[in-house]
Amino acid sequence: MKKMKLLKYMILGVLALALAACAANATPTPIPTIVVDSTNNTANPVSPASSGGDVVASAVVVPAQEVNLAFVNGGNVAKVNAKVGDRVTTGFILVELDNTLLQLEVDRAQRALRELTSPAAIAAAEQAVAGAQDTYDDAKKKLDSLKYRNTDNVTIDYLQDQVTLAQDALDRARDAYNNTAGLSDLDPARARAGTNLYNAQKAYNTAMGNLNWYTALPSENDIATVTADFDAASAALQEAQWYLAELKGESIPADATGLKLAQLQQAKSDLEAAQVRLDQSRLIAPISGVVAEVNVLAGEYVSPGKILIIVLDTDRLQVKTTDLSERDINNVQVGAPAIILVDALGQEFEGEVISISPQASTLGGDVVYEVTLAFTEQPAGVLAGMTADVTVGE
């Protein structure tokens, strides 16, 4: 038994020496190296490895727009017209406060403005413009005649001749009247001579007045009076025209004046202010999209600034990177083409870079930048919140 064990050990020793000799003449086999997948290292996440000049990063699908809606003023909620998941269009009233008094203010302002802009009001304004135009024309003629009456020599000669003729007629009428001095005042001949003398004197006075007006310089008072009348007529015509233009919805200067114009503009401002107050009592969808959150119930009081409704524009989806490293950001340019791999669908879509955040953030100790990409065509089946991998070409 002992001999058999000894023989066994001797055989094992020989085999070991033989194997050692063979190993000395063979090529050594390297020990495999274990590679740690850095993409699964949640403690220190970095962007996927880039190759071939492309930049690769993880991303998430987001709506093109997200609006958070809150009231400017607090109040009691009268209606909640939307729930989570509802698709709404621009202008849809999502939530409405109790605004009965505000609606009455709008109605009152509308009535006041309607009265000021009625067809009768427009007709009266047109008549006012026509009347102001006539007054302006008359004032302008007086001003022009005051300025230029000394320049017409032909007229002055004519008026001088009229004075000469009137003087001659007056002298003859006076002589004829004097020749009836012996007659009774009741005598028709004396009455006729007296009438002729009166008419001749009046004609002479008129002729002399016309000549004096053309040949004499106007007084300072005359100039001031005529100029003031013209300025007043000009201003009244302008204000009447501005008022009529405002009534008709035409453009007028920002510094336009006039009492009626001011009343009309005030009525419009009152209506606008009342409408703003009414609109502020309603949360109105500024975009078309899907209601993502509703944080309010009818009947409760809401405070100013509290986010009550969130609406997402899910018809236009975008992609935002989550781990694009500072080492790669200089290789990304706005307008660069990209391939977007949506993980949940296992499909690739074309896109392009539309913006790069100028502000960095940190992720697990790494400095990263957010880059936004747009799909070339909106993809079917892709939902907001899905993860993706993007490859941005140079």
CATH number at residue 80: 2.40.50.100
75 and 142 assigned to the same domain: no
According to the model, what pLDDT value does residue 148 have? 64
According to the model, what pLDDT value does residue 47 have? 43
297 and 336 assigned to the same domain: no
- The alpha carbon of residue 252 and the mean position of all alpha carbons in its chain are separated, in whole angstroms, by 18
* Cα–Cα distance measured from residue 196 to residue 201, given in angstroms and rounded to the nearest whole number: 9
Q: How many domains does the chain have?
A: 3
Indicate whether 26 belongs to any domain: no
Of 311, 329, 354, which residue is a domain's last? Answer: 311
* Cα–Cα distance measured from residue 54 to residue 28, given in angstroms and rounded to the nearest whole number: 39
User: From residue 359, how far is each of 62, 170, 356 by CA, in Å?
Assistant: 19, 104, 9
Indicate whether 28 belongs to any domain: no
User: From residue 89, how far is each of 94, 97, 291 by CA, in Å?
Assistant: 10, 20, 10
Indicate whether 33 belongs to any domain: no
According to the model, what pLDDT value does residue 16 have? 46
Q: Which helix (H) or strand (E) holds 123?
A: helix 119-148
372 and 302 assigned to the same domain: no
159 and 203 assigned to the same domain: yes
pTM score of the predicted model: 0.57
59 and 74 assigned to the same domain: no
196 and 160 assigned to the same domain: yes
Please give the structure tokens belonging to residue 178. 């004097």
358 and 344 assigned to the same domain: yes
Kindly give, in sequence order, each residue whose CB lies less than 8 Å from that of residue 172, ignoring residues fewer than 6 positions away: 200
191 and 285 assigned to the same domain: no
According to the model, what pLDDT value does residue 327 have? 93
User: From residue 106, how far is each of 72, 96, 233, 276 by CA, in Å?
Assistant: 19, 16, 38, 9
According to the model, what pLDDT value does residue 53 have? 63
The range of the structural domain enclosing residue 132 comes to 119-252
294 and 182 assigned to the same domain: no
According to the model, what pLDDT value does residue 156 have? 82
89 and 55 assigned to the same domain: no
73 and 165 assigned to the same domain: no
72 and 57 assigned to the same domain: no
* Cα–Cα distance measured from residue 260 to residue 255, given in angstroms and rounded to the nearest whole number: 14
Q: Which amino acid is at 90?
A: T
Indicate whether 245 belongs to any domain: yes
Report helix angle 220-247 to 119-148, nearest 10. Answer: 150
Q: What is the CATH number of the domain that holds 54?
A: 2.40.30.170
Sheet containing strand 366-369, edge to edge, reads 324-325, 366-369, 361-363
The alpha carbons of the chain give a radius of gyration, in whole angstroms, of 51
**Which residues of the chain fall below pLDDT 50?**
1-52
